[in-house]
């Protein structure tokens, strides 16, 4: 059962989600978190809801959360970093979600497919996307960083998917056959994010997290389709830079870096 009490009972963090705001229903946890951040909510404040009716995904997509089956949450962080260093927050959260889910399901010996990442931050189990992340940066009047709100939607025990996404979307349950406690998932992800965030703060890049991220990169050393506004082309995904860009090798052998937000990446035969 998802509740503030259950989350706190399983939470083993120093700051992540220690200030917890739980709601039964809301329009958007990112909007709620942004308002709390503006009012001075501390670093590590987590807004979590049982049902979200107007959540936002990337590229203007709507992310709704079914009551009783999924997780919709937004974390406020206040990193002492410049804006150009903060796009990595989405990759750090993607890694944390994959690790946290694995921590929860690790003891089930029947599970064959563990969480992977489709660059930059989609978490994949057995070929289906089970998590989406939307990061929003807020600035102060003097052009310093006020806060970053990281919105996370995880399909946990969901079984029915809308027609427009059922070809690519899944849940932990649909992809593993294992029903999990949503509060346990939240607690595990927060523990992993806290550790990964603190590691990031040592260097303000992904140099200390790169190897762990690339171990889960589902398209590493595989051919992918790059959806560029200037035209589609194929390349081989080689890994990521310490800044979070995807390193690709084009068909002519040249090496390039592409940035999230500028292009999309797909598998040759489908979403992954």
Q: Around Cβ 133, how many Cβ atoms within 10 Å?
A: 23
Condensed to tens digits (0 to 9), the pLDDT of residues 136-149 reads 999 999 999 999 99
Residue 40 has pLDDT above 80, yes or no: yes
Indicate whether 43 and 105 sit together in one domain.
yes
Indicate whether 22 and 107 sit together in one domain.
yes
Whole-number mean pLDDT of the chain? 92
Average pLDDT over residues 4-13: 98
Query: First-to-last CA distance in the chain?
Result: 31
DSSP 3-state helix, strand, coil percentages of the chain (rounded to 5)? 30, 35, 40
Structural domain ending residue among the three candidates 196, 213, 230: 213
CA distance 120 to 100: 17
Q: Going by DSSP bridges, is the β-strand pair 20-26/46-56 parallel, antiparallel, or unpaired?
A: parallel
How many domains, the chain? Answer: 2
Indicate whether 178 and 68 sit together in one domain.
yes
In the chain, DSSP finds a helix count (H) and a strand count (E) of 6, 13
CA distance 214 to 217: 5
Indicate whether 127 and 236 sit together in one domain.
no
Indicate whether 231 and 135 sit together in one domain.
no
Indicate whether 99 and 182 sit together in one domain.
yes
Beta bridge partners of 74: 47, 151
pLDDT at 57: 56
Structural domain ending residue among the three candidates 169, 198, 213: 213
Condensed to tens digits (0 to 9), the pLDDT of residues 14-39 reads 999 999 999 999 999 999 999 999 99
At 267, the pLDDT band (50, 70, 90 cuts) reads: confident
Q: Is 268 exposed, middle or buried (0-12, 13-18, 19+ CB in 10 A)?
A: exposed
Residue 269 has pLDDT above 90, yes or no: no
Q: Confirm whether 34 is domain-assigned.
A: yes
Q: Confirm whether 118 is domain-assigned.
A: yes
Query: Residue 119 is part of which domain span?
Result: 4-213
pLDDT at 61: 56
Question: Where is pLDDT greater, at 68 or 115?
Answer: 115
Q: Around Cβ 16, how many Cβ atoms within 10 Å?
A: 26
CATH number reported for the structural domain that contains residue 235 in this entry: 2.30.30.100
Spatial strand order in the sheet of 223-228: 255-258, 246-250, 231-240, 223-228, 264-267
Indicate whether 208 and 228 sit together in one domain.
no
CATH number reported for the structural domain that contains residue 46 in this entry: 3.30.930.10
Indicate whether 25 and 127 sit together in one domain.
yes
Q: Confirm whether 272 is domain-assigned.
A: no
Condensed to tens digits (0 to 9), the pLDDT of residues 92-128 reads 999 999 999 999 998 766 666 789 999 999 999 999 9
Residue 11 has pLDDT above 70, yes or no: yes
Beta bridge partners of 56: 62
CA distance 180 to 172: 8
Indicate whether 244 and 192 sit together in one domain.
no
Query: Tokens standing for 225?
Result: 């389709």
């Amino acid at each position: 059962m998802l509740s503030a009490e259950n989350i706190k009972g399983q939470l083993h963090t120093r700051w992540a989600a220690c200030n917890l705001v739980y709601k039964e229903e809301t329009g958007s946890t990112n909007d709620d978190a942004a308002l709390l951040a503006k009012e001075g909510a501390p670093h590590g404040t987590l807004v979590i809801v049982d049902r979200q009716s107007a959540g936002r995904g990337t590229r203007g997509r709507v992310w709704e959360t079914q009551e009783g089956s999924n997780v919709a949450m937004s974390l406020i962080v206040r990193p002492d970093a410049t804006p150009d260093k903060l796009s990595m927050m989405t990759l750090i959260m993607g890694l944390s979600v994959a690790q946290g889910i694995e921590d929860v399901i690790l003891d089930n010996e029947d599970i064959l497919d563990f969480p992977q990442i489709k660059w930059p931050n989609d978490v994949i189990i057995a070929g289906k996307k089970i998590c989406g992340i939307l990061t929003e940066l807020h600035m102060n009047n003097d052009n310093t960083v006020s806060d970053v709100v990281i919105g996370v939607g995880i399909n946990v025990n969901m079984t029915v998917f809308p027609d427009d996404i059922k070809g690519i979307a899944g849940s932990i349950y649909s992809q593993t056959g294992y029903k999990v406690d949503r509060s346990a998932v939240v607690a595990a992800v927060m523990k992993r994010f806290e550790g990964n965030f603190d590691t990031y703060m040592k260097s303000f890049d992904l140099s200390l997290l790169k190897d762990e991220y690339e171990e889960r990169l589902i398209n590493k050393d595989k051919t992918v389709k790059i959806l560029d506004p200037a035209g589609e082309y194929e390349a081989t995904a080689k890994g990521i830079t310490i800044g979070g860009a995807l390193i690709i090798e084009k068909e002519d052998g040249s090496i390039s870096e592409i940035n999230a937000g500028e292009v999309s990446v797909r598998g040759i035969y489908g979403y992954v």
